[in-house]
Structure 1
Amino acid sequence: MFLGAVSSVWGVSAKSSDYVYRPNNPSFGGDAFNSAHLIGLAERQNKHKETGSSAASRYSNSPADQFVRQLQSRMLSSLSQQVNEAIFGENAAEEGRIVFGEQVISFSRGLEGVHLVIENTTDGSQTEVTVPTLQVQ
Protein backbone atom coordinates (compact mmCIF):
# COMPACT_ATOMS: atom_id res chain seq x y z
CA MET A 1 0.00 0.00 0.00
CA PHE A 2 2.76 2.40 0.98
CA LEU A 3 4.71 1.55 -2.15
CA GLY A 4 1.64 2.23 -4.29
CA ALA A 5 1.14 5.66 -2.71
CA VAL A 6 4.79 6.62 -3.22
CA SER A 7 4.79 5.45 -6.81
CA SER A 8 1.62 7.38 -7.55
CA VAL A 9 3.17 10.57 -6.09
CA TRP A 10 6.37 10.12 -8.03
CA GLY A 11 4.50 9.17 -11.14
CA VAL A 12 2.66 12.49 -11.38
CA SER A 13 4.37 14.73 -13.88
CA ALA A 14 5.05 18.31 -12.93
CA LYS A 15 4.03 21.09 -15.27
CA SER A 16 5.73 24.44 -15.54
CA SER A 17 6.09 27.31 -17.96
CA ASP A 18 8.82 29.78 -18.79
CA TYR A 19 9.08 32.89 -16.64
CA VAL A 20 8.47 35.92 -18.84
CA TYR A 21 9.47 39.35 -17.58
CA ARG A 22 7.06 42.12 -18.47
CA PRO A 23 8.07 45.66 -17.47
CA ASN A 24 5.50 47.95 -15.89
CA ASN A 25 6.99 51.28 -16.91
CA PRO A 26 6.00 52.34 -20.44
CA SER A 27 9.39 54.01 -20.85
CA PHE A 28 10.96 50.56 -20.75
CA GLY A 29 8.48 48.70 -22.95
CA GLY A 30 5.66 48.30 -20.45
CA ASP A 31 1.96 48.81 -20.97
CA ALA A 32 1.16 52.37 -22.06
CA PHE A 33 -1.94 52.41 -19.84
CA ASN A 34 0.33 52.43 -16.75
CA SER A 35 1.75 55.88 -17.53
CA ALA A 36 -0.96 57.93 -15.78
CA HIS A 37 -0.69 55.79 -12.66
CA LEU A 38 3.11 56.00 -12.58
CA ILE A 39 3.17 59.79 -13.11
CA GLY A 40 0.66 60.15 -10.29
CA LEU A 41 2.93 58.16 -7.97
CA ALA A 42 5.95 60.23 -8.99
CA GLU A 43 4.14 63.52 -8.37
CA ARG A 44 3.04 62.39 -4.91
CA GLN A 45 6.61 61.44 -4.01
CA ASN A 46 8.10 64.67 -5.36
CA LYS A 47 9.46 66.64 -2.40
CA HIS A 48 10.82 69.49 -4.55
CA LYS A 49 7.80 71.67 -5.04
CA GLU A 50 8.35 75.17 -6.42
CA THR A 51 6.47 78.19 -5.19
CA GLY A 52 4.16 79.81 -7.69
CA SER A 53 6.00 83.11 -8.14
CA SER A 54 9.50 81.67 -8.58
CA ALA A 55 8.30 78.94 -10.92
CA ALA A 56 6.33 81.39 -13.05
CA SER A 57 9.18 83.88 -13.32
CA ARG A 58 11.76 81.20 -14.09
CA TYR A 59 9.71 79.55 -16.81
CA SER A 60 8.08 82.59 -18.33
CA ASN A 61 7.35 81.86 -21.95
CA SER A 62 5.89 85.09 -23.26
CA PRO A 63 6.87 86.14 -26.79
CA ALA A 64 9.02 88.97 -25.38
CA ASP A 65 10.93 86.57 -23.10
CA GLN A 66 11.45 84.12 -25.97
CA PHE A 67 12.77 86.95 -28.15
CA VAL A 68 15.21 88.10 -25.46
CA ARG A 69 16.52 84.54 -24.95
CA GLN A 70 16.98 84.01 -28.69
CA LEU A 71 18.69 87.38 -29.09
CA GLN A 72 21.07 86.62 -26.22
CA SER A 73 21.82 83.21 -27.69
CA ARG A 74 22.61 84.64 -31.13
CA MET A 75 24.77 87.43 -29.71
CA LEU A 76 26.76 84.99 -27.56
CA SER A 77 27.15 82.69 -30.56
CA SER A 78 28.45 85.56 -32.69
CA LEU A 79 30.80 86.64 -29.91
CA SER A 80 32.13 83.10 -29.49
CA GLN A 81 32.81 82.91 -33.24
CA GLN A 82 34.80 86.16 -33.06
CA VAL A 83 36.80 84.91 -30.07
CA ASN A 84 37.44 81.59 -31.82
CA GLU A 85 38.64 83.39 -34.96
CA ALA A 86 40.92 85.70 -32.95
CA ILE A 87 42.54 82.79 -31.11
CA PHE A 88 42.51 79.96 -33.67
CA GLY A 89 41.85 81.65 -37.04
CA GLU A 90 44.21 82.24 -39.98
CA ASN A 91 45.60 85.51 -38.60
CA ALA A 92 45.68 84.39 -34.96
CA ALA A 93 48.00 86.26 -32.61
CA GLU A 94 50.60 84.48 -30.46
CA GLU A 95 49.05 85.92 -27.33
CA GLY A 96 46.36 88.37 -26.45
CA ARG A 97 43.54 89.49 -24.24
CA ILE A 98 39.86 89.78 -25.08
CA VAL A 99 37.54 91.73 -22.79
CA PHE A 100 33.75 91.74 -22.94
CA GLY A 101 31.57 92.71 -20.01
CA GLU A 102 32.93 91.19 -16.81
CA GLN A 103 34.78 88.44 -18.70
CA VAL A 104 38.46 88.56 -19.68
CA ILE A 105 39.95 85.87 -21.89
CA SER A 106 43.74 85.77 -21.97
CA PHE A 107 45.47 83.39 -24.35
CA SER A 108 49.02 82.43 -25.24
CA ARG A 109 50.46 79.86 -27.63
CA GLY A 110 52.98 77.34 -26.38
CA LEU A 111 54.60 74.12 -27.52
CA GLU A 112 51.76 71.99 -26.15
CA GLY A 113 48.87 74.12 -27.36
CA VAL A 114 46.95 77.29 -26.66
CA HIS A 115 46.61 78.16 -22.98
CA LEU A 116 43.38 80.02 -22.13
CA VAL A 117 42.55 81.80 -18.90
CA ILE A 118 38.92 82.89 -18.59
CA GLU A 119 38.44 85.31 -15.70
CA ASN A 120 35.28 86.74 -14.18
CA THR A 121 36.28 90.18 -12.91
CA THR A 122 33.28 90.55 -10.58
CA ASP A 123 34.15 87.63 -8.31
CA GLY A 124 37.74 86.90 -9.40
CA SER A 125 37.05 83.31 -10.41
CA GLN A 126 39.24 81.82 -13.13
CA THR A 127 39.03 78.87 -15.46
CA GLU A 128 42.17 77.62 -17.18
CA VAL A 129 42.04 75.49 -20.32
CA THR A 130 44.83 74.20 -22.54
CA VAL A 131 43.73 73.36 -26.06
CA PRO A 132 46.21 71.06 -27.79
CA THR A 133 47.35 72.11 -31.26
CA LEU A 134 47.26 69.79 -34.23
CA GLN A 135 50.67 68.25 -34.92
CA VAL A 136 50.88 67.13 -38.56
CA GLN A 137 53.73 64.67 -39.17
Structure 2
Amino acid sequence: MQKLLTSAVLLLLLVHGKHAGAQDFVYEPKNPAFGGGNPFNYAWLLSSAQAQTTLVDPAVANNVATQDPLNNFATNLNQQVLTQLSNRLIASQFGEGAIKAGNYTVGTYQIQVTPGPNGVSVQVTDSSTGNQTTITIPNTP
Protein backbone atom coordinates (compact mmCIF):
# COMPACT_ATOMS: atom_id res chain seq x y z
CA MET A 1 0.00 0.00 0.00
CA GLN A 2 2.86 2.35 0.91
CA LYS A 3 4.59 1.66 -2.41
CA LEU A 4 1.44 2.26 -4.34
CA LEU A 5 0.84 5.61 -2.66
CA THR A 6 4.44 6.75 -3.27
CA SER A 7 4.23 5.72 -6.92
CA ALA A 8 0.95 7.59 -7.35
CA VAL A 9 2.40 10.78 -5.90
CA LEU A 10 5.50 10.57 -8.11
CA LEU A 11 3.39 9.92 -11.20
CA LEU A 12 1.15 12.86 -10.32
CA LEU A 13 4.16 15.14 -9.91
CA LEU A 14 5.67 14.04 -13.20
CA VAL A 15 2.45 14.57 -15.11
CA HIS A 16 1.45 17.92 -13.61
CA GLY A 17 4.84 19.26 -12.56
CA LYS A 18 6.46 22.13 -14.42
CA HIS A 19 9.91 22.20 -15.80
CA ALA A 20 12.47 23.83 -13.55
CA GLY A 21 14.16 26.89 -15.03
CA ALA A 22 17.49 28.42 -14.26
CA GLN A 23 18.95 31.85 -14.72
CA ASP A 24 22.35 33.43 -14.68
CA PHE A 25 23.62 35.10 -11.51
CA VAL A 26 24.51 38.76 -12.07
CA TYR A 27 26.64 40.68 -9.58
CA GLU A 28 25.43 44.20 -8.96
CA PRO A 29 27.52 46.37 -6.61
CA LYS A 30 25.56 48.36 -4.01
CA ASN A 31 28.20 50.94 -3.07
CA PRO A 32 28.60 53.69 -5.69
CA ALA A 33 32.26 54.12 -4.65
CA PHE A 34 33.08 50.67 -6.02
CA GLY A 35 32.12 51.45 -9.62
CA GLY A 36 28.75 50.66 -11.04
CA GLY A 37 26.83 50.97 -7.79
CA ASN A 38 23.58 52.87 -7.63
CA PRO A 39 24.28 56.51 -6.63
CA PHE A 40 20.96 56.60 -4.74
CA ASN A 41 22.40 54.10 -2.24
CA TYR A 42 25.05 56.58 -1.06
CA ALA A 43 22.96 58.37 1.58
CA TRP A 44 21.64 55.13 3.06
CA LEU A 45 25.12 53.56 3.20
CA LEU A 46 26.60 56.66 4.84
CA SER A 47 23.89 56.95 7.50
CA SER A 48 24.16 53.23 8.21
CA ALA A 49 27.93 53.50 8.68
CA GLN A 50 27.60 56.54 10.94
CA ALA A 51 25.01 54.76 13.09
CA GLN A 52 27.33 51.81 13.59
CA THR A 53 30.55 53.67 14.33
CA THR A 54 32.01 53.39 17.82
CA LEU A 55 34.69 56.04 17.31
CA VAL A 56 34.42 59.24 19.35
CA ASP A 57 35.54 62.63 18.09
CA PRO A 58 38.39 63.77 20.39
CA ALA A 59 37.20 67.39 20.28
CA VAL A 60 33.77 66.38 21.59
CA ALA A 61 35.25 64.07 24.24
CA ASN A 62 37.58 66.82 25.50
CA ASN A 63 34.76 69.35 25.61
CA VAL A 64 32.65 67.12 27.84
CA ALA A 65 35.62 66.38 30.11
CA THR A 66 36.52 70.06 30.56
CA GLN A 67 33.09 71.22 31.72
CA ASP A 68 33.36 72.42 35.30
CA PRO A 69 30.15 72.45 37.38
CA LEU A 70 31.41 75.37 39.52
CA ASN A 71 32.24 77.37 36.40
CA ASN A 72 28.80 76.57 34.97
CA PHE A 73 27.21 77.76 38.22
CA ALA A 74 29.11 81.07 38.09
CA THR A 75 28.12 81.60 34.46
CA ASN A 76 24.49 80.85 35.23
CA LEU A 77 24.54 83.22 38.22
CA ASN A 78 26.02 86.01 36.08
CA GLN A 79 23.32 85.45 33.46
CA GLN A 80 20.60 85.74 36.10
CA VAL A 81 22.07 88.95 37.54
CA LEU A 82 22.27 90.45 34.05
CA THR A 83 18.68 89.42 33.42
CA GLN A 84 17.53 91.08 36.66
CA LEU A 85 19.49 94.22 35.82
CA SER A 86 17.96 94.43 32.34
CA ASN A 87 14.48 93.84 33.80
CA ARG A 88 14.99 96.72 36.25
CA LEU A 89 16.31 99.00 33.50
CA ILE A 90 13.29 98.36 31.34
CA ALA A 91 10.91 98.63 34.29
CA SER A 92 12.42 101.98 35.32
CA GLN A 93 11.81 103.37 31.85
CA PHE A 94 8.25 102.15 31.76
CA GLY A 95 7.26 103.14 35.30
CA GLU A 96 7.99 100.07 37.46
CA GLY A 97 10.85 100.23 39.92
CA ALA A 98 13.94 102.35 39.48
CA ILE A 99 17.61 101.85 38.76
CA LYS A 100 20.29 104.37 39.46
CA ALA A 101 22.76 105.59 36.90
CA GLY A 102 26.29 104.43 37.52
CA ASN A 103 28.79 101.66 36.93
CA TYR A 104 28.18 98.02 37.78
CA THR A 105 30.49 95.02 37.71
CA VAL A 106 29.00 91.57 37.18
CA GLY A 107 31.58 88.84 36.73
CA THR A 108 33.75 89.90 33.81
CA TYR A 109 31.17 92.44 32.61
CA GLN A 110 31.48 96.18 33.24
CA ILE A 111 28.07 97.86 32.89
CA GLN A 112 27.73 101.63 32.63
CA VAL A 113 24.23 103.10 32.91
CA THR A 114 23.90 106.69 31.72
CA PRO A 115 20.65 108.66 31.39
CA GLY A 116 20.44 110.91 28.34
CA PRO A 117 17.98 113.06 26.41
CA ASN A 118 16.87 110.12 24.22
CA GLY A 119 16.62 107.57 27.06
CA VAL A 120 18.91 105.44 29.15
CA SER A 121 22.14 104.25 27.54
CA VAL A 122 23.59 100.97 28.78
CA GLN A 123 27.13 100.10 27.78
CA VAL A 124 28.22 96.50 28.50
CA THR A 125 31.92 95.66 28.21
CA ASP A 126 33.32 92.14 28.58
CA SER A 127 36.70 92.74 30.21
CA SER A 128 37.98 89.27 29.28
CA THR A 129 37.53 89.78 25.53
CA GLY A 130 37.17 93.55 25.17
CA ASN A 131 33.85 93.16 23.34
CA GLN A 132 31.51 96.08 23.88
CA THR A 133 27.78 96.53 23.35
CA THR A 134 25.72 99.69 23.75
CA ILE A 135 21.96 99.53 24.28
CA THR A 136 19.68 102.56 24.34
CA ILE A 137 16.29 102.26 26.02
CA PRO A 138 14.16 105.08 24.68
CA ASN A 139 12.06 107.38 26.90
CA THR A 140 8.35 106.74 26.96
CA PRO A 141 6.31 109.43 25.21
Shorter-chain TM-score category?
Answer: 0.3 to 0.5
Q: Which has the larger radius of gyration?
A: 2
TM-score, normalised via structure 1 length? 0.46
TM-score, normalised via structure 2 length? 0.45
Q: Which has the higher contact order (CA 8 A, sep 6+)?
A: 2
